Chains A and B, each alone.
Chain A
Amino acid sequence: MMDYDRLLSQKVKEIKPSGIRKFFDIVAVMKDAISLGVGEPDFVTPWHIRDAGIQSLQEGKTYYTSNWGLLELRTEAAAYLKRRYGLEYKPDSEVLITVGGSEGIDNTIRALVSPGDEVLIPEPSFVCYQPCVLLSGGVPVPIETKVEDEFKLTARQLKEKITPKTKLLILPFPNNPTGGIMEKKDLEEIAEVIRGTDILVLSDEIYSELTYGLKHTSIASIDGMWERTVVINGLSKSHAMTGWRIGLVFGPAPILQQVTKIHQYAIMSAPTVSQYAAVEALRAGDKDIEYMCGQYNMRRKLMHEGFNKMGLTCFEPRGAFYMFPSIKSTGLTSEDFCERLLREEKVAVVPGNAFGDSGEGHIRCCYAYSVEHIKVALDRIEHFLGKL
């Protein structure tokens, strides 16, 4: 008998698996269960983008690309970031195409973090930062964002957590799961704290196109920040291209050289068919973004109104496509709430503690669903609350 427990990497074993899985395994076999649990658009990739991918296959473009990605795509990516956010990057040395934003996050953390380095992570947030930091031997330092601050990271909180060992600040805004965003003035305050230190910034802006009422600002556009920031973006959320796995990494050349080294040895290059589709998306997809964002916005208002009506306190999200209502008034823990809601009303949502301890007392509901679907789910949740 092999003693796997003794043989496997201690570091990897200590990483907690995602706690979400068990709920959705139940959903899969439960008849009539409906979900607000996914983390991706409900739109299919616009046809002209899919067609560009198909076209590339018909033309036999089935080889690897450069490790950095097609120069054509990097050029479009740089033009896109300039057009949408006023950021300037050189396509030949400051842009890398990765397999989704997640690979970009992993590679960047690995390229920057040495054992013992502290990494500041605002929470609740996307679940991958902490494991990536741990695998690099770094020390994750969570910073709890609060609903009274509109789930923003404040300069005061940031200052409190900075030590001589602080290497990196992760800025996950617009935020999954809270829907919080950082406005220009908020970023100015963060920049004020960071400037003049050796702290680097990983700005995960994958939801940058999905903001409501205010255009996204990148911290890299603030004075003195470009040179210490790696910007992660991608096409998954903006262009409904999650399955294509295309991420974009932008940053100063000396950093990107190291990031690309990891990408080169681990991945070689992002899928070629996806890269050709991405060229079309970035070149001719701005109108798709406006359309989908407009649709999400209407659903956002509908869901927010629904939660308010049933008496669950809910911050009105300003970005991404999630709502993060507090369920503290029910007296249930997040996990109990989700488990009972699923068993009794057949609605699957994600417990807030999946996004860090500070998410306890909340649930995450995605509104990337049709209006009809959202209405049915809200009715069931209201019915559930009535029974408690």
Chain B
Amino acid sequence: MERILKILEENCRITDKEIATMLSLDESAVARARAEYEKAGVIMGYKACIDWDKTEDESTVAMIELKVTPQYGEGFDKIAKRIYDYPEVESVYLMSGSFDIMVLIRGRTMKEVAMFVSTKLAPMEAVVSTSTSFVLKKYKENGVIFRKEPDDEREVMGL
């Protein structure tokens, strides 16, 4: 049934009926599987993949590396929750290596992001240090390459 996930991962607007045809399954079986995946939290949502750079939107994304003191009995989970509950935070990862937590933030301007770091993240007790890097250009995200799909360049042969 993970084949259903593979198809949805590429195109979540495809119908259950079409998936059923492609995999030689019953439409109802696909609908059931999809509902179960949603319930179990395997499918976490169906979001459009948007290249904001092509819109009027001027928002900016930053990656912030945090060094954090883990808390007794809670590890990193408590501080992670405090961070990811902010709506401007897009992603939070616990990392191996020279820092502990990676935070992806989207803000309307660089200044807004900088303010968020200095007024919200940095003052948290457990946070030892922050290092902020702004994204200048997005080439590829979640497997999608951010450039116009080239036209079908296949020329017709005499067969």
Contact = CB atoms under 8 A, between A and B. Distances in A.
Interface stretch (B75-83, B95-103, B111-119, B149-157): B149-157
A124 B145 CA distance: 40
B21 A301 contact: yes
Nearest to B7: A298
Given A18-B158, A18-B159, A38-B156, A302 B21 contact: yes
Contacts of A371: 11, 14, 18, 22
Chain A interface category by residue count? 20 to 34
A39 interface: yes
Contact of B154 (A17, A40, A176, A298): A40
A302 B159 CA distance: 24
Contacts of B142: none
Contact of B156 (A20, A42, A305): A20
Contact of B159 (A126, A305, A375): A126
A251 interface: no
Contact of A20 (B21, B152, B158): B158
Interface string A289-308: 00000000011011001000
Contact of A298 (B23, B152, B156): B23
Main secondary structure of the interface of B (DSSP, over half): loop
Contact of A39 (B14, B23, B157): B157
B159 A298 contact: no
B24 to A, nearest CB: 6
Given A37-B156, A38-B156, A127-B159, 19 more contacts: A17-B158, A20-B159, A21-B156, A27-B156, A39-B157, A39-B159, A40-B157, A42-B152, A176-B159, A298-B23, A299-B22, A301-B21, A302-B21, A350-B159, A354-B159, A355-B159, A371-B14, A371-B18, A375-B18
Interface of B: 7, 11, 14, 18, 21-24, 152, 154, 156-159
25 contacts: A18-B158, A18-B159, A21-B158, A35-B152, A35-B156, A37-B156, A38-B154, A38-B156, A39-B156, A39-B159, A40-B157, A42-B152, A42-B154, A128-B159, A176-B159, A299-B22, A301-B21, A302-B18, A302-B21, A302-B22, A305-B21, A350-B159, A354-B159, A371-B18, A375-B18
Interface of A: 17-18, 20-21, 24, 27, 35, 37-40, 42, 126-128, 176, 298-299, 301-302, 305, 350, 354-355, 371-372, 375
